[in-house]
A and B are shown apart, each in its own frame.
Chain A
Amino acid sequence: ILNVEQSPQSLHVQEGDSTNFTCSFPSSNFYALHWYRWETAKSPEALFVMTLNGDEKKKGRISATLNTKEGYSYLYIKGSQPEDSATYLCAFRDTGNQFYFGTGTSLTVIP
């Protein structure tokens, strides 16, 4: 079983703070790295899909970077807002088309 680790497990920040989380994954057999946002009582929603080493993606105040050689990705949220409160999941897709999800980082933004 392949290991995808996310840290921290949970995070509480004040509104307006910037924050970041980490996703670690195997550096071999890499195909793609996905980030999802999962709000309580809803389904996960895709944020980014990254495939190339050095990739950087941005959507509004959220951005992500990818390092496939060392096996990590960072997700950044600039100026956190209460509506950013959610669990953020990363998923590693290997060259055999299987997906492995991390357990997520739970973010709470305090107004």
Chain B
Amino acid sequence: EAQVTQNPRYLITVTGKKLTVTCSQNMNHEYMSWYRQDPGLGLRQIYYSMNVEVTDKGDVPEGYKVSRKEKRNFPLILESPSPNQTSLYFCASSLSGRTGYTFGSGTRLTVV
């Protein structure tokens, strides 16, 4: 089944403890992206990648890192999480610039 797989689905962590949210797609998509969803705000782009080893900042990249070493994987790294990074995170991928995204199931992160 064609899908974007994110893990974990839920995570509670403490301030400053490094964490990684994994994202993997099995559709050979070129474009991958991370978003966060906060109440009253639209999905905001954190980072995106057009292809392997090519990553760019989105609207809200501060406090996050990404890597794209393989086409299928695009992990989101929080080196030192803070409470303002408590949010619902989505990974998404698309075949090209003219096709829609396939979204992962989301990761609800709480930083205390």
Contacts and interface: CB of A to CB of B under 8 A. Distances in A.
What's the interface size class on B, roughly? 20 to 34
Q: Secondary structure of the A side of the interface?
A: strand
Interface in B90-112: 90, 97-106
A25 to B, nearest CB: 12
Nearest to A3: B42
A99 B98 contact: no
A101 to B, nearest CB: 4
What's the interface size class on A, roughly? 20 to 34
A109 to B, nearest CB: 23
Most A CB contacts (10 A, CB to CB) among B42, B90, B102 go to B42
A43 B104 contact: yes
Given A43-B90, A43-B106, A99 B45 contact: yes
Most A CB contacts (10 A, CB to CB) among B40, B98, B100 go to B100
Given A43-B104, A103-B40, A103-B42, 8 more contacts: A32-B98, A34-B100, A34-B101, A45-B103, A46-B99, A48-B100, A97-B97, A100-B42
Interface of A: 1, 4, 31-32, 34, 36, 43-49, 51, 89, 91, 93, 97-104
